[in-house]
Amino acid sequence: MKIVRTISGLKKEIRAAQSAGKSIGFVPTMGFLHEGHLTLARQARSQNDVVVMSIFVNPLQFGPNEDFERYPRDEERDTRLAGEVGVDLLFLPSVEEMYPEEPAVTLTVHKRTNALCGLSREGHFDGVATVVMKLFHLTEADRAYFGKKDAQQLAVIHGLVDALNVPIEIIGVDTVREPDGLAKSSRNVYLLPEEREKAPAIYKALGLIKQSVEAGETDVASLKQKARYVLEEEAGAVIDYLEILSYPALEPIEKVNETIIAAAAVQYKQARLIDNVILPVKGSAPCTAQ
């Protein structure tokens, strides 16, 4: 595995891969890799000649009171894991390399942000869209891999690629979970032991919505009420949101008759966790953002 830290170094490798006629799969990450990221990389490995992974904690997507400084970082371990799953090219730029000065142009996302994490993380998806667009330009990848755990991010990236005609295929990859159901996340390390014990209730609550929809229940208010009860009783956290929305548009709905997302965010002492299930409803339009 080659490691490059500069944009010029990355471009040189990309040009070499392209002139050898190789397809490029790209896995953008912020590092502190876990099984979720490794699953993205494995899928990229199986579908492309060259796998590029970036590790960059992007300051543009963190608010002033968020955890940019505190975001977990472990370059040595990440490098080893990326090599083990078959990444060919690891891009590890510094903030100065990516943003040598305050960017003259950034992107603003107008749709799919007025819900879920977009409501409490102002500007977050603008920062994500800006860095992802930059990384798409730099890697010139054929395919890029994103986890469905960040379903709103995935919906935003689909919107970005559609709106700006970016020639890349976006692949959404299923959430990887701990045996007890908790979605893998770099932020799980912040959980206190008693919080870690209770956190699987998030997926349990979402699972209840899934089972009820599969059993034919369509009333969104009553689905939410049941799931909220489980979260309140069992998750031991402050509920930031529990929503059922259309997906990928992320519009409010009253009845389930199209593809939906059931999503929750909860705040523990040191960690805010998100999770979701996306439920395709039979007969509804196919959902590209899955």
Closest to ligand PAF by CB, 45 vs 124, is 124
Binding of ligand PAF by 81 (CB under 6 A)? no
Least Å distance between CB 150 and ligand PAF?
5
Order of strands, edge to edge, in the sheet holding 143-147? Answer: 2-4, 89-91, 50-55, 24-29, 143-147, 169-173
Closest to ligand PAF by CB, 144 vs 230, is 144
Query: Which of 48, 58, 175, 246 is in the footprint of ligand PAF by CB under 6 A?
Result: 58
Closest to ligand PAF by CB, 145 vs 247, is 145
Closest to ligand PAF by CB, 108 vs 211, is 108
**Cis omega (within 30 of 0) for bond into 103:** no
Q: Is 287 helix (H, G, I), strand (E, B) or coil?
A: coil
Between the alpha carbon of residue 122 and those of residues 38, 116, 119, 158, 208, the distances in Å are: 29, 11, 6, 20, 30
How many angstroms from the chain centroid is the CA of residue 35? 13
Range in contact with ligand PAF (rule: CB under 6 A) among 74-82, 128-136, 235-243, 255-263: 128-136
37 belongs to the catalytic site: yes
Least Å distance between CB 229 and ligand PAF?
31
Residue among 34, 37, 110, 158 flagged as catalytic: 37
- Interface with ligand PAF (CB under 6 A), residue total 10
Beta-carbon-side half-sphere exposure of residue 288 (alpha carbons within 13 Å)? 10
Query: Which of 13, 88, 150, 275 is in the footprint of ligand PAF by CB under 6 A?
Result: 150
d(CA 215, CA 209): 10
Least Å distance between CB 234 and ligand PAF?
27
Q: In sequence order, what are the beta bridge partners of 242?
A: 264
d(CA 82, CA 273): 24
Binding of ligand PAF by 28 (CB under 6 A)? yes
- Sign of the torsion formed by the C-alpha atoms of 230, 232, 238 and 239: positive
Neighbouring C-beta atoms of residue 111, cutoff 10 Å: 14
Binding of ligand PAF by 128 (CB under 6 A)? yes
Closest to ligand PAF by CB, 117 vs 242, is 117
According to DSSP, the β-strands at 2-4 and 89-91 are: parallel
Q: Which residues bind to ligand PAF, rule: CB under 6 A?
A: 28-30, 58, 61, 128, 131-132, 150, 153
Show which residues are catalytic.
Answer: 37
